[in-house]
Structures are given as structure tokens and as C-alpha cells.
């Protein structure tokens, strides 16, 4: 029941985003732009995108290194499986299945692994906001509401990053605080569970204990998203318009911030509408912008989903494994709410 409700919410949000942009489009013009596009430009874009995926693997290897050093060739399939799950299953289930498979194959705690994934998302969000801030001075008039939202997200992510780094570099103090809370407020019957969760969570935070490691994680995050923006640039050349790389950085930032919202599988609507609106704000014809954005969305979605699906089959995974991973995450969430 809960799963069905979540799916309905995601579909409703996707439908709302599509509703926002459909009235301004003419299907015949969109199809006309799609027919005349030079799709050969997608190939170098896909190649660059997979370079970005390898950089993601390197970053995850770097974050897992304090727990267990793993070669990139063993982590790359899990990154692709994670994308496969995100692209075909609602509510970013791929993040759970990636940690689940890592636990099954490498015996790394599910909580520790999921903590590293959460840190990835924080750094990804920070880079997206940096992209937006770099491009905003060159953007046309943007509603104050959007600017205020970007500022709010920036503050929240900076606070979250600061807290995580503080916890990583002051583990003794954090442990003292946790033990006091546990001794005075938590029932004895759940102490073993909460203690295990706490220590596994802190294990996943170890990559933030060094300033050099934090800089490396941030540096690789910037490279990852620059590679994705380069793909935006290649695919743009398939269509009859030109905008600056800064505009594509802004589009990339806004699109990926929007896709953090619940949506139908594959980020339908939450990806497309912000992309079309960003390009339209810079003078690109809306129908042409829609053709480009739909093509870009497909070029981002299809290759990694196929590769991830292949690894999903190769690892003998089943759809029930998604449910098991989600259930394990739900149990951790329930345990945290009870504490």
C-alpha cells in the first residue's frame, strides 16, 4: 500500500511538471526538430558521459577506502546498477540496491555504504548549486522565488556538509554525545540496534575526516558534473541552436536539483520541464528546446540503463532484491524514528 502511494505521488508530480510546459508546445514543430536533428553528435556525448561514470566510481572508491579498498572494476558495475534502479524504479531505489549489492558481494555494512551514498548526494547538490550561482549573473530576469529557493538550498547543504565534516573530525565528541543520549533516553531493548547503527554510520563518515579527502571528493564531484555538461554541449550540436556553456551549466544544475523531487521512474517531467524553461529563458524556441531536452533525456537515460540492466542480470539480481533493499532501508528509518 505504501509503495503504491509513493508511486502515485511520483506520477502526480511528474504529471504536474508536464502540465506546466505542454500548453506552450506544438507537437508538429517538436517532431519536425526531432526529424532534422543530427544524431551522430550523441555518440561523443555518450562517451563523455561514461567517463563521468568512471569518475563516479573513482569517487566512491575513494570514499569507501577507509572501510575497504576495492578496485574500480568491481565498483563500476554497482554504479551502473544503481543508475538502472534509479531510472526504472521510483524514489531512487537504485541507491538502496547499490548498497545492498555491495553488502552482499563485499561484506560492507549496508548502513556504512548508504552513508557514503548520502555524502555523494550532498556534494552533488553543492556542485549543482555552484553551477547555478556561476551562471545566474549572466541569466535573464529570474523570479525572486527561484533565487530565494537556490539560496535556501545552498544554506541547507552547507550546514549539512559542515555537520558531517564536524562529526567525521570529532568522532570522540560525537560518540560522547551519542552515549549520553543512549544511556539516558533510549530503552535498553533497542540499544544493541542503535549502537550498531551509530558505529556503522560513523564508519561510513571516515572519508570526511581529512581535509585532503574532502577536497578530493569535491574535486571529483566537479569533474563528474562538468563531464555531464559536456554531454549537454555535444547533444546541443545535433540541433539548430547555440547557447553558451554557462547556460548549459545552469540548465544542468536546475534540472538535477529538480530531479531530487519524487517523480515517475526515469525523472519524467522533473527533468524535462526545467530544461525546456531554462533554454526558453535564453531565447531558444520552446519547441526546439523541447526536442533537444527530450533527446538529451533519452541519451542520458538509455545507455546507462542498458549497461546497468546487463550487470543486474549478470549479478543474478531479482526485482525482489529491490524490495529487500528498500525494506532494509525502511527498517533503519523506522529504528531512527523510534529513537
pLDDT at 241: 95
pLDDT at 170: 85
How many CB atoms within 10 Å of residue 85?
A: 28
Picking from 235, 245, 253, the residue whose alpha carbon sits closest to that of residue 289 is 235
Taking 70 as the pLDDT cut, the residues of the chain under it are 1-4, 91, 140-149, 321-339
Measured distance CA(309)–CA(125) in Å, rounded: 26
pLDDT at 187: 81
What's the whole-model pTM score?
Answer: 0.85
Measured distance CA(291)–CA(286) in Å, rounded: 9
pLDDT at 324: 66
Instruction: Report in angstroms the alpha-carbon separations of 69 from 88, 120, 183.
Output: 30, 18, 34
Measured distance CA(290)–CA(32) in Å, rounded: 11
pLDDT at 337: 44
Q: What is the DSSP letter of 36?
A: H
Residue bearing cell 537504485: 94
Measured distance CA(59)–CA(153) in Å, rounded: 23
Measured distance CA(78)–CA(69) in Å, rounded: 15
Q: What is the CA radius of gyration of the chain?
A: 21
Amino acid at each position: 500500500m505504501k509503495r503504491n502511494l509513493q508511486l502515485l505521488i511520483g506520477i502526480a508530480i511528474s504529471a504536474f511538471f508536464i502540465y506546466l510546459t505542454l500548453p506552450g508546445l506544438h507537437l508538429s514543430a517538436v517532431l519536425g526538430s526531432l526529424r532534422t536533428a543530427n544524431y551522430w553528435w550523441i555518440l561523443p556525448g555518450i562517451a563523455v558521459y561514461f567517463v563521468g561514470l568512471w569518475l563516479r566510481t573513482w569517487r566512491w572508491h575513494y570514499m569507501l577506502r577507509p572501510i575497504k579498498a576495492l578496485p574500480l572494476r568491481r565498483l563500476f558495475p554497482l554504479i551502473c546498477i544503481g543508475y538502472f534502479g534509479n531510472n526504472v524504479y521510483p524514489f531512487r531505489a537504485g541507491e538502496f540496491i547499490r548498497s545492498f549489492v555491495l553488502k552482499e558481494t563485499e561484506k560492507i555494512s549496508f548502513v556504512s555504504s548508504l552513508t557514503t551514498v548520502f555524502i555523494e548526494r550532498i556534494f552533488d547538490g553543492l556542485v549543482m548549486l555552484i553551477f547555478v550561482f556561476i551562471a545566474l549573473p549572466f541569466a535573464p530576469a529570474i523570479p525572486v522565488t527561484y533565487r530565494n529557493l537556490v539560496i535556501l538550498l545552498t544554506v541547507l547543504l552547507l550546514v549539512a556538509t559542515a555537520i558531517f565534516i564536524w562529526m567525521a573530525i570529532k568522532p570522540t565528541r560525537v560518540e560522547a554525545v551519542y552515549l549520553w543520549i543512549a544511556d539516558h533516553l533510549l530503552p535498553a531493548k533497542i540499544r544493541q540496534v542503535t549502537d550498531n547503527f551509530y558505529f556503522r554510520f560513523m564508519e561510513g563518515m571516515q572519508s570526511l575526516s581529512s581535509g585532503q579527502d574532502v577536497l578530493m571528493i569535491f574535486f571529483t564531484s566537479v569533474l563528474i558534473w562538468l563531464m555531464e555538461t559536456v554531454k549537454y554541449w555535444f547533444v546541443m550540436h545535433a540541433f539548430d541552436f547555440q547557447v553558451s556553456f554557462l547556460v548549459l551549466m545552469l540548465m544542468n544544475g536546475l534540472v538535477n536539483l529538480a530531479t531530487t523531487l519524487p517523480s515517475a521512474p526515469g525523472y519524467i517531467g522533473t527533468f524535462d520541464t526545467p530544461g525546456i524553461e531554462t533554454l526558453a529563458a535564453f531565447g531558444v524556441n520552446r519547441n526546439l528546446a523541447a526536442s533537444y531536452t527530450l533527446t538529451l533525456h533519452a541519451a542520458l537515460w538509455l545507455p546507462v540503463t542498458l549497461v546497468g540492466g546487463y550487470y543486474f542480470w549478470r549479478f543474478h539480481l531479482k526485482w525482489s532484491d529491490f524490495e529487500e533493499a528498500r525494506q532494509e532501508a525502511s527498517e533503519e528509518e523506522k529504528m531512527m524514528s523510534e529513537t
